[in-house]
């Protein structure tokens, strides 16, 4: 009879935490995959330099922020260190032609998109069973900075932060709520929700607020502003690790359960804006109300259902793609996850399988 009793609460948390680590570890990219991607980056950089000699091609997004899963796509950004450069539109057209001629990639240039990019895919091969998908954009310096910010957050508490983020990325993909084009939220949006939760909701916090820490030296506007936005944050993680210790000792499992409960029940979707820079803000003060039907945008009612402030581009709602139905589905998924975990099933591994089923 004793053996059949439900494991105690702490036992369940320990089991579930272990299962979460084991689960995400097997989904990390292999060394080989990372090497292939780095080789691809170098090859593309070499080719781009035949058009723009002073250019650099840098990784951003998951390949560069520590939240990469196996077979995730590559986000690349081309920076041109010269004053006389081609427009992004012209570059996309020229680069598209060049890559079409010189490489085995399938090339799709989108020169007239809001952000002009070249989309590339490589067919699967024995060494690369899933192929490669890659987007090349231009001069997207803010994306490089927000990638660096997320990477610093990941490094402060790698075990808890990376495990939570990686699990939520897999979960949101498997539950089909990770498609901005279909009205749900991007991976970037989910990462911001996790960081917001760990900085501003948990008490004591699991992470410090890197954008509000006192700088070590006086800073000037010139070295903090990128594209007109203040991108300063405390980025000396090594120093931070010696100076800052979280008083929060909850396990990954407890944090995850609380995360689901918070976004299922407590976050004020109707009036609130999640800001990792400033905590909970009001839609009203940001001018992001839902009911601006007579406003500038025809679809403004859809635009601000779920409000997540970009860490640097403060006038940009990262959740703007989330529609009414999308938010309903996402919240439904948070509730479902919360319910599955609240039942504390006898075996944590079954709970995880259930969650992602
Ligand atoms: P995945 O592994 O699912 O591709 P990812 O970590 O690469 O996840 P994405 O959502 O693909 O995340 O975003 C990649 C990068 O693009 C982000 O780090 C961010 O710099 C930028 N980005 C993506 N979506 C937005 C957005 N809505 N607003 C601003 N920047 C964004
Ligand atoms: Mg990506």
Whether 168 and 107 share a structural domain: no
Are residues 235 and 148 in contact, defined by beta-carbon separation less than 8 angstroms? Answer: yes
271 falls within a domain: yes
Q: Which of 188, 190, 317 to mutate to test the pocket of ligand 1 (most atoms within 8 A of CB)?
A: 188
- Kindly report the protein residue whose alpha carbon is nearest to atom 30 of ligand 1: 143
How many angstroms is it from 82 CA to the middle of ligand 1? 27
Ligand 1 centre distance from Cα of residue 147 (Å)? 8
CA of 50 to the centre of ligand 1 (A): 28
Residue 155 CB-density burial (10 A; 0-12 exposed, 13-18 middle, 19+ buried): middle
Nearest listed ligand to the Cα of residue 62: 1
**pLDDT score recorded for residue 301:** 52
Kindly list the distances between the CA atom of residue 213 and the CA atoms of 109, 207, 291, 313, in Å, as whole numbers in the listed order. 41, 12, 36, 19
Indicate whether 279 belongs to any domain: yes
324 and 186 fall within a common domain: yes
Instruction: For residues 68 and 74, give the distance between their C-alpha atoms in angstroms, rounded to a whole number.
Output: 10
- 16 belongs to a structural domain: no
Q: What's the gap in Å between 134 CA and the centre of ligand 2?
A: 9
Residue nearest to atom 28 of ligand 1 (CA): 318
Supply the ipTM of this predicted assembly: 0.94
Residues 76 and 177 in one domain: no
> How confident is the prediction for the chain on average, in pLDDT?
91
Residue 161 Cα to ligand 2 midpoint, Å, equals: 18
Looking at residue 143, its pLDDT comes to 95
Residue carrying the six token digits 């070295």: 223
Q: Give 59 Cα–ligand 1 centroid separation in angstroms.
A: 12
In a domain, 51, yes or no: yes
Which tokens is 312 given?
Answer: 């640097």
Name the domain boundary from 98, 115, 141.
Answer: 141
Q: Where does the chain have alpha helices with state H?
A: 9-25, 31-48, 62-65, 88-102, 141-156, 158-174, 187-196, 221-224, 237-243, 252-261, 283-286, 300-303, 324-342, 348-356
The verdict on residue 19 lying in a domain is: no
Ligand 1 site, CB within 6 A: 60-62, 65, 67, 69, 72-73, 75, 143, 146-147, 169, 186-188, 310, 318
Position in ligand 1 atom list of the atom nearest CA 321: 27
Give the confidence band of 20 by pLDDT, cuts at 50, 70, 90: very high
**Domain end residue (candidates: 92, 114, 141):** 141
Distance CA(353)–CA(351), nearest Å, equals: 6
Q: Domain check: are 120 and 202 in the same one? A: no
Q: What is the pLDDT of residues 199-248, one digit of tens each?
A: 999 999 999 999 999 888 888 877 789 989 999 999 999 999 888 899 99
Same domain, 329 and 303: yes
| 124 and 270 inside one domain | no
Give the range of the structural domain holding residue 91, as residue numbers without chain letter: 31-141
Kindly state whether residues 202 and 335 are assigned to the same domain: yes
Residue 300 has pLDDT above 50, yes or no: no
pLDDT tens-digit series, residues 270-281: 999 999 999 999
How many Å lie between the centroid of ligand 2 and the Cα of residue 74? 6
| 298 has pLDDT over 70 | no
β-pairing, 117-122 vs 229-230, is: unpaired
Residue nearest to atom 15 of ligand 1 (CA): 61
Q: Domain check: are 197 and 325 in the same one?
A: yes
CA 5 to centroid of ligand 1, rounded, Å? 44
CA-to-CA distance for 298 and 300, rounded, in angstroms? 6
- For residues 200 and 94, membership in a common domain is answered with no
CB-count exposure of residue 180 (10 Å: 0-12, 13-18, 19+): middle
Return the CATH number at 38: 3.30.460.10
**What is residue 299's predicted lDDT score, i.e. its pLDDT?**
52
Q: What is the domain count for the chain?
A: 2
Same-domain status, 166 and 134: no
The band of 84, judged by pLDDT with boundaries at 50, 70 and 90, is: confident
The sign of the torsion formed by the CA atoms of 42, 43, 46, 49 equals negative
Write the residue with the smallest CA distance to atom 17 of ligand 1.
Answer: 61
Please name the residue whose Cα sits nearest to atom 23 of ligand 1. 188
85 or 72: which leads in pLDDT = 72
Same domain, 132 and 170: no
Q: Is the pLDDT of residue 1 over 80?
A: no
Nearest atom in ligand 1 to 316's CA: 28
Q: Domain for residue 306, yes or no?
A: yes
The verdict on residue 287 lying in a domain is yes
Mutate to test the pocket of ligand 1, among 62, 77, 153 (most ligand atoms within 8 A of CB): 62
In this structure, the answer to whether residues 294 and 176 fall within a common structural domain is yes
Are the C-beta atoms of 72 and 166 separated by less than 8 Å?
Answer: no
> Ligand 1: which residue has its CA nearest to atom 6?
62
CATH code of 171's domain = 1.10.1410.10
Place of tokens 């498609």: 179
Atom of ligand 1 nearest to the CA of 313: 29
**C-alpha triplet 307, 311, 314: angle, nearest 5°:** 65
CA 117 to chain CA centroid, Å, is 19
């Amino acid at each position: 009879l004793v053996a059949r009793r439900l494991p105690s609460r702490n036992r369940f948390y320990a089991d579930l935490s272990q299962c979460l680590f084991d689960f995400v570890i097997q989904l990390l990219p292999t060394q080989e995959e990372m090497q292939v991607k780095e080789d691809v980056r170098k090859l593309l950089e070499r080719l781009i330099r035949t058009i723009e000699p002073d250019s650099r091609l840098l990784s951003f997004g998951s390949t560069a922020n520590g939240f990469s899963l196996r077979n995730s796509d590559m986000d690349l950004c081309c920076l041109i260190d010269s004053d006389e450069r081609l427009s992004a539109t012209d570059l996309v057209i020229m680069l598209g032609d060049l890559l079409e001629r010189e490489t085995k990639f399938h090339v799709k240039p989108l020169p007239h998109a809001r952000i002009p990019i070249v989309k590339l895919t490589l067919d699967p091969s024995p060494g690369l069973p899933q192929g490669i998908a890659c987007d090349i954009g231009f001069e997207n310096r803010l994306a490089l900075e927000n990638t660096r910010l997320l990477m610093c957050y990941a490094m402060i508490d790698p075990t808890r932060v990376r495990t939570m983020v990686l699990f939520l990325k897999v979960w949101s993909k498997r539950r089909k709520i990770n498609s901005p084009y279909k009205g749900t939220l991007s991976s970037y949006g989910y990462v911001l929700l996790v960081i917001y939760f760990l900085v501003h909701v948990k008490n004591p916090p699991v992470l410090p607020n890197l954008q509000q820490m006192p700088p070590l030296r006086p800073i000037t506007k010139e070295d903090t502003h990128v594209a007109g936005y203040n991108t300063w944050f405390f980025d000396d993680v090594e120093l931070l690790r010696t100076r800052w210790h979280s008083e929060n000792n909850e396990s990954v499992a407890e944090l995850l359960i609380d995360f689901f409960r918070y976004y299922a029940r407590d976050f004020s979707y109707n009036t609130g804006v999640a800001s990792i820079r400033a905590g909970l803000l009001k839609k009203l003060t940001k001018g992001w109300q839902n009911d601006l039907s007579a406003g500038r945008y025809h679809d403004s009612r859809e635009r601000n259902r779920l409000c997540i402030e970009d860490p640097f581009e403060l006038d940009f709602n990262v959740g703007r793609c989330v529609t009414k139905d999308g938010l309903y589905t996402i919240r439904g998924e948070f509730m479902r996850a919360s319910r599955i975990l609240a039942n504390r099933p006898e075996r944590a591994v079954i709970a995880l399988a259930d969650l992602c089923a």
